[in-house]
């Protein structure tokens, strides 16, 4: 499955947030891979809008697997201060999941109607 989510980074913390992600701890990277996070990317807009994209067999299971790791608890505690409006949640539980409305490869193989000449 593909999942996309959004968060909002505090505008005054953008540069530090980017710096932290240019040097993600090797243990955190390994935990994500082990938990089934594939093709994981983060995209950051200048106003702080953060969009995340991940492919995984099950987002719920991938998040739960990360919840069981000590490295994720440390990472989430450190990252929480960068975000707006988490309402006491960690970033990995405080994001807004977005609905997928189009995927090129899937739409190309379904709902194809031939036009008559």
In the chain, the domains with their CATH numbers are 2-109 (3.30.70.100)
Strand partners, 98: 4
Residues acting as catalytic residues: 21
Beta-carbon contacts of residue 64 (< 8 Å; ≥ 6 apart): none
Tell whether the model's pLDDT for residue 112 goes beyond 70: no
The position carrying tokens 């919840």 is 67
Q: What is the rounded CA–CA span in Å between residue 23 and residue 72?
A: 15
Q: What is the rounded CA–CA span in Å between residue 48 and residue 12?
A: 9
Tell me the pLDDT tens digit for each residue of 30-86.
999 999 999 999 999 999 999 999 999 999 999 999 999 999 999 999 999 999 988
Q: What is the mean pLDDT of residues 88-92?
A: 90
Tell me the pLDDT tens digit for each residue of 21-37.
999 999 999 999 999 99
**How confident is the model at residue 87, as a pLDDT?**
83
């Amino acid at each position: 499955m593909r999942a996309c989510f959004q968060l909002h980074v505090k505008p005054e913390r953008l540069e530090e947030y980017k710096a932290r992600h240019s040097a993600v701890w090797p243990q955190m990277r390994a935990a994500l891979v082990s938990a089934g996070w594939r093709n994981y990317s983060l995209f950051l807009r200048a106003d702080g809008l953060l969009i995340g994209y991940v492919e995984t067999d099950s987002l719920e299971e991938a998040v739960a697997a990360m919840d069981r790791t000590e490295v994720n608890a440390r990472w989430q505690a450190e990252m929480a201060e960068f975000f707006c409006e988490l309402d006491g949640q960690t970033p990995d539980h405080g994001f807004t999941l977005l609905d997928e409305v189009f995927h090129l490869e899937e739409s190309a193989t379904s709902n194809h109607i031939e036009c008559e000449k």
